[in-house]
Amino acid sequence: MSAAPQRPDCAPAQPRRRARKREKTANHLAATAFRLFEEQGFEAVTMEQIAVAADVAKGTLYNHFPLKEGLLAHQFRQEIASGMVSLRGALERQPGFAARMRFLLRACAEWNESRRAYLPYYLRFRWALVERGDRDATEEHRSGTFHILEALFREGQASGEVRQDVRARDIAWMFEFMLLGAVTVWLSRPGEDLKQGFESSLGVLLEGVTTAARAGKRKK
């Protein structure tokens, strides 16, 4: 007697459940860690303290987050994604690509200002991933802003406002690191205005960096 064939729709169910469980655990670990960071300061908190507070084995914590900075990056991604849910309607009402980008960057600047004390650790983590060439980890720890940027660039391409010879994902990748650079400058210069730094980054994106490009735009 031959074995009964497996239902084709059952195969992906287990991986999806595992992925949801892993994400739920990661969210719990990151939220617990961030609470400790707020109470004691980032430097003072140890991975052992986080494991105890989250009621997990130390090995479970390290399996999800080998570095303490990874917990911070995950928490930031969750915060940004949650914040954008409430801003989505206002963002969609903006008249055109440039206005939507300015609206998004103003919100991003305000969030960065609220998390300034943690940003040096976060930036160090993001740059280290790039330097190591760890593509999987870099993908996993993309900021919550990245996916929003990618969607906006794709919408801009569909409306004809953004050039189509470069993938929206690649433009988002390049522009996200322009913004990280603006944050780095802001952190190193007390009194600098981050909103203006983001506006300058957007200006370079929209108008180019050469004087010829800007002159050509003024003539149109």
Confidence at 20, pLDDT banded by 50, 70, 90: confident
Q: Which of 18, 42, 66 is the last residue of a domain?
A: 66
pTM: 0.77
Q: Which residue has the tokens 């939507």?
A: 100
Taking the C-alpha atoms of residue 59 and residue 171, their distance in angstroms, rounded to an integer, is 38
pLDDT at 93: 92
The pLDDT of residue 103 is above 80: yes
In angstroms, how far is CA 93 from the centroid of its own chain? 23
pLDDT digits (tens, 9 = 90+) for 132-177: 665 555 555 566 688 889 999 999 999 999 999 999 999 999 999 8
CATH of the domain at 24: 1.10.10.60
Whether 57 and 81 map to the same domain: the answer is no
Confidence at 110, pLDDT banded by 50, 70, 90: very high
Domain ranges, residue 117 = 69-219
The pLDDT of residue 188 is above 90: yes
pLDDT, mean over the chain: 86
Would you say residue 5 lies in a domain?
no
Largest CA distance in the chain: 80
Whether 102 and 199 map to the same domain: the answer is yes
Contacts of 20 (CB under 8 A, 6+ apart): none
For residue 72, how many other CB atoms are within 10 A of its CB? 23
The pLDDT of residue 220 is above 90: no
In angstroms, how far is CA 158 from the centroid of its own chain? 23
Give phi and psi for 46, each to the nearest 5.
Answer: -105, 160
